[in-house]
Amino acid sequence: MNQSTINQLLCTGHVPSDSDQGLLLGNMTTHGVLAKIEVKGHQLLLLFKKGESLSYTGKKMFFWLLALLILCGFLWNYKRQLKITDITDKYIFITGCDTGFGNLAARTFDKKGFHVIAACLTESGSTALKAETSERLHTVLLDVTDPENVKRTAQWVKYQVGEKGLWGLINNAGVLGVLAPTDWLTVEDYREPIEVNLFGLINVTLNLLPLVKKARGRIINVSSIAGRLAFSGGGYTPSKYAVEGFNDSLRRDMKAFGVHVSCIEPGLFKTGLSDPIKATEKKLAIWKHLSPDIKQQYGEGYIEKSLDKLKGTTSFVNVDLSLVVECMDHALTSVFPKTHYAAGRDAKTFWIPLSYMPAVLQDFLLLKQEVELANPKAV
């Protein structure tokens, strides 16, 4: 049987009878063509199915692959829903509890039954929080930029938690600082947000880390979508980029100790931190001290035009602070916490996806929100 005959048989399932090669085609059956091949005393019986094609095999493979993906999705979702038990004997420490996310988190976790230690910057914030919570919650005055204050607080927390250790550390304290074009600023304008948002967070973590390791607990660092995309000049964005880096290295270092480290990246939320009036006042104060050359380049109406642009984005601002607290809750109580949480509709649908896009697309979309300069060539 020559090669062309074999090829014709494999491709069509039908060849003319060839007694010299020992090939005999049987009758058509309900399943297809039955053929017997005899070469040098060896017989091979073949059944060529009617309508058999790669498309059929491909459809079966696609079906099983789809079923496998659905099963994996179900198991993944089920795994994320598994929760720890006995939270009533666990201690958590939260910074920045005067207002905003930290305040809501302290009240929420107190109601859930955790032993909450809430760090506030002001006496008034501490008093107001204690008035709204149970006797189980304790407050402490803490300035995260004061190393001695941080050390004393860590010693006091160690006394409070005893041998149980600290189950949860939520690094939430932060400031916005000045948001303005980079050439308006001095290095001092960068210092405050970096001191609070980065060095304060690191210092608190290092001092409380032995207690978290003892409990094999959780560390939750509140970053921002500004840790993914630089949307304004100033120290806030660099501080949050650095928090992301610290978070990732800490997560890998603590894995061997059974400590889970998570990072929360909120979008734009309506809090005291992002008060547009305060942000504008800071920008106006800097404008007054700018050189005539820079004022000429940007134009006298630059700040007013920036405010008008900002008003157009108010519909994207999240008002439900519980979206961030829900992420904290999952990171604290899930058997399998996530490494990163995006909080807010804008973060999930715009900022985080955009952070994966090419720089040319990021620049195009973000620069569309910038005010056109009056005379950029006046240098």
Active site residues: 236
Q: Which residues does 22 contact at the CB level (< 8 Å), separation at least 6?
A: 1, 37, 38, 39
Which residues is 263 bridged to in the sheet?
A: 221, 340
Phi, psi of 161, rounded to the nearest 5 degrees? -85, -25
For the chain, the three-class secondary structure string (H helix, E strand, C coil) is CCHHHHHHHHHHCCCCCEHHHCEEEEEECCCEEEEEEEECCEEEEEEEECCCCHHHHHHHHHHHHHHHHHHHHHHHHHHHHCECCCHHHCEEEECCCCCHHHHHHHHHHHHHCCEEEEEECCHHHHHHHHHCCCCCCEEEECCCCCHHHHHHHHHHHHHHHHHHCCCEEEECCCCCCCCCCHHHCCHHHHHHHHHHHHHHHHHHHHHHHHHHHHHCCEEEEECCHHHCCCCCCCCHHHHHHHHHHHHHHHHHHHHHHCCEEEEEEECCECCHHHCHHHHHHHHHHHHCCCCHHHHHHHCCCHHHHHHHHHHCCHHHCECCCHHHHHHHHHHHHECCCCCEEEECHHHHHHHHHHHCCCHHHHHHHHHCCCCCCCCCCCC
Select from 165, 156, 151 the least CA-distant residue to 217: 165
Among 315, 295, 299, 308, smallest CA distance to 369 is for 308
Count of alpha carbons within 13 Å of 230, Cβ hemisphere only?
Answer: 13
